[in-house]
Structure 1
Amino acid sequence: MQTRIALSFLLVFLFQFSPAQKRQGNIVEYFGKEKVNEIKEGKPYHVFSKGLYLSGQRSALNSMTFPTDPVFKDFLMSDKKVTQGETGFIDTEGNPQSWQSISTDDKSTFNDRKLRGAYVYLTYTSKTEKTVLFEASGHTNGIINGYPHEGDYYDFGYSLIPITLKKGVNTFVLKVGRFPRIRARLIAPKSPVLFTQRDMTLPDLLWDTDLKYKGAIRIVNSSKDWVESYDLTSTLQGKQLTILVPAIAPMSSLKVPFGIAALAEGTEKGKIQVQLSLRKPGVGVVDETEISLHIKSRHQKHKRTFISDIDGSVQYFAVAPSSNHDLEKGALFLSVHGASVEATNQANAYKQKDWGTVVAPTNRRPFGFAWEDWGRLDALEVLAEGKRIYAPDPQKIYLTGHSMGGHGSWYLGATYPDKFAAIAPCAGYPDLLGYRDSFVKRALRASKEELKQWGITQKQLERMQQKPQLTAMDHMIQRAGNPSRTLKLKRNYLQQGVYILHGEKDNVVPTFIAREMRENLGTFHNDFTYYEYPGGTHWYGDHSMDWPPIFEMFKRREIKTDSTINTMEFYTASPGVSAQSHFTTIYQQEKPLEISSIDFSREKNRITTANVALLKLDTQHLKLETDHIEIDSTHVMIDSDVLYLTQTNGSWEKTATPNPALKGPHRNGGFKDAFKNQMVFVYATNGTPTENQWYFNKARLDAETFYYRANGRVVLVPDSDFSPKAYADRNIILYGNADNNKAWKKLLKNAEVQVINGKATIGGRETLGNQWGLYFVLPRPDSDTASVGVISATGTEGMKAIYSNHYLINGTTYPDLMLFSNDIMQFGTDAVKCAGFFGNDWSYEQGDWQWK
């Protein structure tokens, strides 16, 4: 389906950068005119200097979840070769686009404006089979000899992928990312297993706090053997801490946590060195390196690290502690950063406050997830860490942020209204898709001069005017994104004070977006402030965030205790994302992932609900003056501190504590919800060599993607080694089907979804053929909390269909289950055959489904 072009969505990301907020120390200088010297990982083996490029093809607007990419489809699982002048595809205007030659500049970089969004085809002829490290930057993803790999589209210099060069011609197809430049080379690793200091996560050490620390460093395994039983030792001031390195799959890397001892008493401020050594049993040290850490006071701005419950990785957050060293029960300000901004820079933008502490999470990366999905979870983890460390007054918690962090403030504030007394979005947009659409609106009423300045042609403008023709299937898929539709939750802002700060002349997040929110709030909210900074652009100095009137407003707001709340509204789109506000918990929905709500009035002693199937009430803290409460039209006696109530045919009845096997806040779907809870990737080894290699590579690709996008740590496990007891209560991502993955019978033997070669069965309905791919999530049968996410296919063609790994990107939407053909990369959601949600009992029969 051809709809409006995704140009405006691209602008969202291109225009989020503030000139005053540049990345700090992330970009690696690869190679220039100077002779390339040996680097820590090994010696450069080959620098790509010539190749072919193909102009990019835009995806349809309705297929963010499954963006079309027929070019990559041609290279998947194949040894396809192309020549100069060969047609790559026919564009939407009927023009053939052909492969053309391109060469690097004097800095060994393919650098040309015409490369934006293009494909680059490179080849290397090897005389023998050998292992090398592939290093590239500027690409969103790539296919090497038919198998996909994650890219380095932010140009960080993190990419370092072990690959096996086959004898003869090896092909590399790279999709150019946000900047019209790309680099690539091959490196001969200095040893089969090695450290790389690219992208370490490290804390600051505090001389005035007795504290042990966590850091993380990547270990690259460029061998065809598993790294097993290795240990990693850190040495600081003669004190050693040793950890056992998790098993690392062949030809992959893993970011490994390690401990750092507390500083010796009397250590002076400055820098200090920590030695790291990697040992192999029976061999000894296989690699070692030295890292430098800053020593600071706990009263200075600094970085702290913690182990994330999402994946066991080490994450950091930055702190601007209170200037009052004796402060107790002070305020806590959660400040969420903009795109391209490190958390350290976010904290550095604030003057230290005498009445509270600023904590700044990372969103898992400076770009991360726009504070949605895993960025949302990171913000919650850092908020919990801030409360644990600084023990603030529980009624004095506040939220603010700038640009993408302004969006984070709108989004987190609407999603978790009882966690913050007030929010202050600065230069923010409330909704990610709304931000994209705002550029379409702006372009449609822009002058010719403005359109020329933005590089928008008349044909592109005409496409923007086309309205998307969404099918019932599109609506089912998009429903999974309702938790991110901030404006559908806007009445939750009634629980908070709101301060909107925006520059008068902001062209990055246009000022009219803030004015629209002012008008929006004005229709129902009576406690918000709006201020346009005169002459302010997107960034006009630290006052862009650290604006004194914001903190003066914060001082006058507190989170209400349950017993003082007279009226309250609470909205959610998913109990799995946000279920509770104060004394109410929306435990289950009648219609999954549509908006659910409660409206409480103490005066009327009434709760009105919408789309709620199971409700939990904490009556102990609510402290009503009566012994009953009216819920919709049902009078309910209050005879315990906690009530669970279920709705049947419009009438509410008390029920027992819900069975954890049912859907609820702990485990609710959709599919992306499986990627948390210390997830483990279990891949098939019981199939044909082609199947085994593909599923291993797909699991490795997802691990690479989660590492790059989320600073993540994912352990790969072959099905032959998987034991449910060894990974108890952890989420499992299973790659394969019942014929080729031995873990299927251990986890999914009785599931209503069964997949074998040549057939998928969903709720008793069979779909035949080898071209089908499936994503779905179900509860793990041996756990009250864990889930099983499944990435499966009915055959070789279906394995191509599951290539799209956009479930690890925010802004994409996945219900509990999706069945789709291998045409997905060419036709987007038109190739989806089934999508929908299981019932509250996780059954197909009680679910909500759309079939094509």
Structure 2
Amino acid sequence: MRKIKPLILLLVFIQSCLFAQQKTGNIVEYFGKEKIETIQEGKLIHVFKKALTLKVPTHHFNSSSFPKDPVYARFLEEENYLPNNKETFDIDFVGNPMVWKTIKVDETNSFNDENLSSSYVLLKYKSNKVKTVLFEASGHSLVLINGLPHEGDHYDFGWNLIPLELKKGMNVFVLKVGRFPRIRARLIEPKMEVQLTTRDVLVPDVLFDESKNYTGGIRVVNSTNTWIKGYSLESELKGKKLETIVPDIAPMSVLKMPFSIAAVSNNSKVGAEKLNIILKNKNSVLDTKEVEIQVKSKHQKIKRTFISDIDGSVQYYSVAPSSNKDLKNGAFFLSVHGASVEAVNQANAYKQKDWGDLVAPTNRRPFGFAWEDWGRLDALEVMADAKNIYQPDPQKIYLTGHSMGGHGTWYLGATYPDKFAAIAPCAGYPDLLLYRDGFLKSTLELPQTELTKLGMTPEIVSRLKFNQSQELTPVEKMIERAGTPSRTLELIRNYLHVGVYLLHGEKDNVVPTSIARGMRQRLGTFHNDFVYYEYPDGTHWYGDHSIDWEPLFNFFKRHTIKKDDEIKNLEFYTGSPGVSASSHFVTIYQQEIPFKTSSFNFSKEEGDLSIKTNNAALLLVDFSKLVTDKNEIKIDERIITINKGAKMYFQKVDGVWKNTSVPSLAQKGPHRNGGFKDAFRHHVVFVYATKGTDEENEWYLNRARFDAETFWYRANGKIELVKDVDFSPKKYADRNVVIYGNKSNNAAWKTLLKKSPIQVENNKIDFDGKSITGNQWGMYFIVPRTDSDIACVGVVTATGSKGMKAAYMNHYLVNGTTFPDVLLFDDDVLENGMSAVKASGFFGNDWSVEKGDFEWK
């Protein structure tokens, strides 16, 4: 591997958000020219120019669900902790003191120093009175403001605005340095209590040759201590107005709100138009913003928007439509982008094809979720929306992508193999965690002189190597098992469904060429329909040929998805039916061991029907899709009579397969299967506690608000916050709910969790009859919503103040982290990380504890 010098590049690599050499142009600079006192959201009142910084000998390879954080632990546990310059924080693992040091900004008003890597920056502001401000900062992954966590701006977008009420006296901001060793921060006096901001505004292209309305998204800032109600957004384009009702917005929060945009007339000219967005309260105009919107033809490269079922947010995707304006039943190419690449730029990198339409989803952000978690769901939503518009030939669907999108191609192709005729990963890595681990390993093999330039002392290298060598505990292995659906290589035989074209640069040192060669070797052991091409002298990005490669698309032309009646042999593997359950006419409905790889092998040789299974408890077979004159099927040597033309369920009872009735939707299945991350979809709503002490109420409101901030930043999300006393099952029917609080302080607990096998109250947990006492306990778990066939309830809970602070982090909203159905931990996790988790596991297929799979420490 070529020597790596810039620390910034290292941080990019190890976060697995690798920059492709396509540029996004979406990073906005709001700092530096501080002579401008007024900005769109208000008046600049303070720029932080002096701070304390603390370097901690940790590392950025930690993708743990519970990363260690001794610094935030100190600030969370010691309310009045406020260090001074040259004060020792602690002694590191080799005996060196960790000391707080003064740092000042440079000429751009940035704290900018390579030594800030793995550091914390402490800012102080003394206010002579209680007042409301907007905290604007960039370059940090997280911030504690007066002891409460908030989302950072680690991608340096310049988007974050956090409304907050400064207390009289000293206010403390503790920022964790993000991917780049640079921090900037300032305070703004809001222009008005409730206003719009065009930071992160989203508008589609409007098409003069389509007569339908559109959807955009803009953020509404509530800088008050009260809920705002009765607001609306009005858009005006070329004299046409449409109004959208704004839901109630929680105190001191920002909501990215979808709004409707009117269609343009057929005689509209192509080009930029002014779109006015007006915030109203009843008939009073509170704020107005003007943005530019493009009028185009549907035959140009365009940006389309849709409303996501995940959270009701507005998302976009980009299209390079066919150059053949009269094309019908053409091909459909799904192209997934690399890290930092906007979907618009992804589509722009392709020439329009005369035989199909190319669609580029966003992964919900340029970095997003590496096409896993909500990135995976975004790809599926975009496919469904775009296929509805373009009506492609259902047998001519293809998948490709570059870099992180190459990973997305390997991953999505293995997860949903019957959705594609062929896949083409370009400069991709198959497994995200193996790639991270491989990069760490290769980095640690560099000469110590190079490692020293990266800030990695021999002691740190020794500790990293020691950490890599440690065996996981049974509890940790259970947590890791929740990531089985992302272990692409365990699903590798799913590529038998598709043709595979591997494209990689000969001299790629970002995603090393050895990874592609390794996949070529693996495929060569079982696959007879793949092409491997190594572009001579190609690096990670060698121009448009890196993705828009004619032989690749010619390979696509030769492939179609097999029709069900053409299939004689079919293998399928899955890590969870909740992620991917089916291929063609067979569904793995339930597993014997949750989140371990399950599979079936179907055969119709000489007309006889048979299925061999592994780790499957319940199957669904749709015989209406099978052309057969047989009246029986053999499942793992058990012969069962079938009903041709019908859907049949088969259950494994005491090791023997039997036909069974349609399973109750109250059980686990593809519709609702866990783990904990599954709570954050189905138009999820956050319900926080208000019936506790002032400390509890403040914490749980902020905890829900923090998760909403994070889901906006990472996932372009829109999460509604709801008071427990305002929650109505009827109003929020069939929507997932995340509860913040416990039985003692959240009034919605009894409504949603009365039958839960886990009950949490102040100072006590009842875990299906096992009693645990004390105020230090925290839990995450997911259970079905009993008044819905599809929705779940996720729970972020604690038994008291120590447990609340133990649950301060929201790593369940980060890709690459793994969360089973249940996690129990105490405040030791703040300093000791995942090794301090006390219990983890999965409920049974009936959502019970007794039939589940749990590990205790």
- For residue 807 of structure 1, what is the aligned residue in structure 2? 812
Amino acid at match of 1:163: L
Distance 1:454 1:114, change over 3 A: closer
- For residue 159 of structure 2, what is the aligned residue in structure 1? 158
- Offset, 1:628: 1.0
Residues 78-477 of structure 1: pairs in structure 2 closer than 5 A: 78-281=79-282, 284-443=284-443, 446=446, 457-466=457-466, 467-477=469-479
- Offset, 1:477: 0.6
1:38-72 CA-to-partner distances (Å, cap 9, x unmatched) read 11100101000001000034269776100000101
CA–CA distance in structure 1, aligned partners of residues 845 and 8 of structure 2: 39
Amino acid at match of 1:726: K
1:398-438 CA-to-partner distances (Å, cap 9, x unmatched) read 00000000000000000000000110000000000111122
CA–CA distance in structure 1, aligned partners of residues 61 and 351 of structure 2: 42
1:612 is matched with which residue: 606, 610, 616? Answer: 616
- For residue 602 of structure 1, what is the aligned residue in structure 2? 604
- For residue 718 of structure 1, what is the aligned residue in structure 2? 723
2:634 paired with 1:633? no
CA–CA distance in structure 1, aligned partners of residues 440 and 142 of structure 2: 27
CA–CA distance in structure 2, aligned partners of residues 580 and 197 of structure 1: 42
CA–CA distance in structure 2, aligned partners of residues 818 and 366 of structure 1: 31
Distance 1:460 1:548, change over 3 A: farther
Distance 1:366 1:797, change over 3 A: same
Q: When the two structures are aligned, how many residues end up with a matched partner? A: 845
1:100-148 CA-to-partner distances (Å, cap 9, x unmatched) read 0000011111100101121000000000000000000000000001101
- For residue 3 of structure 1, what is the aligned residue in structure 2? none
2:822 paired with 1:817? yes
Amino acid at match of 2:515: I
2:749 is matched with which residue: 733, 744, 747? Answer: 744
Amino acid at match of 2:507: K
2:678 paired with 1:676? no
- For residue 549 of structure 1, what is the aligned residue in structure 2? 551
1:557-595 CA-to-partner distances (Å, cap 9, x unmatched) read 110011101111100010000001101110000000000
- For residue 4 of structure 2, what is the aligned residue in structure 1? none
Secondary structure in 2 matching 1:24: coil
CA–CA distance in structure 2, aligned partners of residues 752 and 14 of structure 1: 37
Distance 1:11 1:130, change over 3 A: closer
Amino acid at match of 1:383: M
- Offset, 1:36: 2.0
1:777 is matched with which residue: 782, 787, 790? Answer: 782
Secondary structure in 2 matching 1:811: coil
CA–CA distance in structure 1, aligned partners of residues 274 and 737 of structure 2: 38
Secondary structure in 1 matching 2:731: helix
- Offset, 1:28: 2.4
- For residue 3 of structure 2, what is the aligned residue in structure 1? none
Secondary structure in 1 matching 2:712: helix
Residues 566-577 of structure 1: pairs in structure 2 closer than 5 A: 566-577=568-579
Secondary structure in 2 matching 1:186: strand
The 10-residue stretch of structure 1 (626-635 or 404-413) with the greater mean CA deviation from structure 2: 626-635
Amino acid at match of 2:221: V
1:508 is matched with which residue: 484, 492, 510? Answer: 510
> Is the contact between residue 149 and residue 704 of structure 1 (CA under 8 Å) also seen in structure 2?
yes
- For residue 708 of structure 1, what is the aligned residue in structure 2? 713
2:696 paired with 1:691? yes
CA–CA distance in structure 2, aligned partners of residues 440 and 162 of structure 1: 38
Distance 1:693 1:732, change over 3 A: same
Distance 1:808 1:16, change over 3 A: closer
> Is the contact between residue 569 and residue 597 of structure 1 (CA under 8 Å) also seen in structure 2?
yes
- Offset, 1:14: 5.9
Distance 1:708 1:581, change over 3 A: same
- Offset, 1:678: 0.5
- For residue 854 of structure 2, what is the aligned residue in structure 1? 849
Distance 1:513 1:245, change over 3 A: same
Structure 2 unmatched runs, 5+: 1-6
Residues 577-592 of structure 1: pairs in structure 2 closer than 5 A: 577-592=579-594
> Is the contact between residue 443 and residue 461 of structure 1 (CA under 8 Å) also seen in structure 2?
no
TM-score normalized with structure 2 length:
0.96
Distance 1:28 1:11, change over 3 A: closer
1:291-313 CA-to-partner distances (Å, cap 9, x unmatched) read 11011111110100000000000
Secondary structure in 2 matching 1:725: coil
Secondary structure in 2 matching 1:726: coil
2:49 paired with 1:45? no
- Offset, 1:631: 0.5
CA–CA distance in structure 2, aligned partners of residues 626 and 744 of structure 1: 52
Distance 1:60 1:21, change over 3 A: closer
- For residue 654 of structure 1, what is the aligned residue in structure 2? 659
1:242-295 CA-to-partner distances (Å, cap 9, x unmatched) read 11101100100100010000002311111111111111136x111111111011
Distance 1:457 1:7, change over 3 A: farther
- Offset, 1:450: 6.6
Residues 511-522 of structure 1: pairs in structure 2 closer than 5 A: 511-522=513-524
> Is the contact between residue 20 and residue 341 of structure 2 (CA under 8 Å) also seen in structure 1?
no
> Is the contact between residue 689 and residue 701 of structure 2 (CA under 8 Å) also seen in structure 1?
yes
> Is the contact between residue 79 and residue 145 of structure 1 (CA under 8 Å) also seen in structure 2?
no
Amino acid at match of 2:762: N
Distance 1:802 1:340, change over 3 A: same
Secondary structure in 1 matching 2:616: coil
CA–CA distance in structure 1, aligned partners of residues 169 and 769 of structure 2: 48
Secondary structure in 2 matching 1:76: helix
CA–CA distance in structure 1, aligned partners of residues 93 and 563 of structure 2: 58
CA–CA distance in structure 2, aligned partners of residues 285 and 668 of structure 1: 46
- Offset, 1:79: 3.6
CA–CA distance in structure 1, aligned partners of residues 856 and 16 of structure 2: 38
TM-score normalized with structure 1 length:
0.97
> Is the contact between residue 337 and residue 343 of structure 1 (CA under 8 Å) also seen in structure 2?
yes
> Is the contact between residue 8 and residue 439 of structure 1 (CA under 8 Å) also seen in structure 2?
no
1:665 is matched with which residue: 663, 670, 673? Answer: 670
CA–CA distance in structure 1, aligned partners of residues 109 and 499 of structure 2: 53
1:751-803 CA-to-partner distances (Å, cap 9, x unmatched) read 11000100111111011110000000000011111000000000000000110
The 10-residue stretch of structure 1 (135-144 or 48-57) with the greater mean CA deviation from structure 2: 48-57
- Offset, 1:15: 7.2
CA–CA distance in structure 1, aligned partners of residues 830 and 455 of structure 2: 28
Distance 1:453 1:180, change over 3 A: closer
> Is the contact between residue 8 and residue 181 of structure 2 (CA under 8 Å) also seen in structure 1?
no
The 10-residue stretch of structure 1 (359-368 or 6-15) with the greater mean CA deviation from structure 2: 6-15
Secondary structure in 1 matching 2:399: strand
- For residue 537 of structure 2, what is the aligned residue in structure 1? 535
Distance 1:759 1:181, change over 3 A: same
Distance 1:250 1:735, change over 3 A: same
Distance 1:621 1:8, change over 3 A: farther
Distance 1:345 1:7, change over 3 A: closer
> Is the contact between residue 71 and residue 89 of structure 1 (CA under 8 Å) also seen in structure 2?
no
Structure 1 unmatched runs, 5+: 1-5
Q: CA RMSD in A?
A: 1.7
Distance 1:450 1:142, change over 3 A: closer
